[in-house]
Amino acid sequence: MGKLEEMSKKRIQSHKKFLAIKSKVYERFLEVEKAAFGKGKVPKKYKELIAVGISVVINCESCMQWHIEQAAKAGASQQEILEAVEIGIEMSGGPGTVSARFALDVMEGIFGK
């Protein structure tokens, strides 16, 4: 199993564990996530693209994987996702290029080479 598959598997397992133990904080986090990414004036695709850029800035690989996948599901093209990654690079300077390497791997897994 590759790194991306392992991360997805771990995310699902952890999600189930938090729900099983009835974590109030995790439940509230899910409510915040639902509110942030739910229907509003900004379409979901653009919300996910914003999250992709932020994920690069904070160097959260799991976040990058999740939000790139969600952006693609919401109709974002490979080029749109790349531009969101590039904005993350610009906003974080040099360290963003390190995070962006992982984002490129995720995009390759979704869209191919």
The domain in which residue 39 lies consists of 3-111
Q: What is the pLDDT of residue 109?
A: 92
Q: What is the pLDDT of residue 113?
A: 81
Q: Which two tokens stand for residue 77?
A: 């093209």
* Nearest one of 23, 83, 40, 31 to 103, comparing CA atoms: 83
Q: What is the pLDDT of residue 95?
A: 84
From CA 13, how far away is CA 113, in angstroms rounded?
29
Given a contact cutoff of 8 angstroms between Cβ atoms, the answer to whether 57 and 92 are in contact is: yes
Q: What is the pLDDT of residue 74?
A: 98
The total number of structural domains in the chain stands at 1
Given a contact cutoff of 8 angstroms between Cβ atoms, the answer to whether 37 and 47 are in contact is: yes
Q: What is the pLDDT of residue 62?
A: 94
3-class DSSP assignment, residue 107 = helix
Walk along the chain (113 residues) and give the pLDDT tens digit of each residue: 798 899 999 999 999 999 999 999 999 999 999 999 999 999 999 999 999 999 999 999 999 999 999 999 999 999 999 999 999 999 998 888 888 888 999 999 999 98
Q: What is the pLDDT of residue 98?
A: 84
Q: What is the pLDDT of residue 79?
A: 98
Domain CATH number, residue 88:
1.20.1290.10
- The total of other beta-carbon atoms located within 10 Å of residue 52's CB is 28
Question: pTM for this structure?
Answer: 0.86
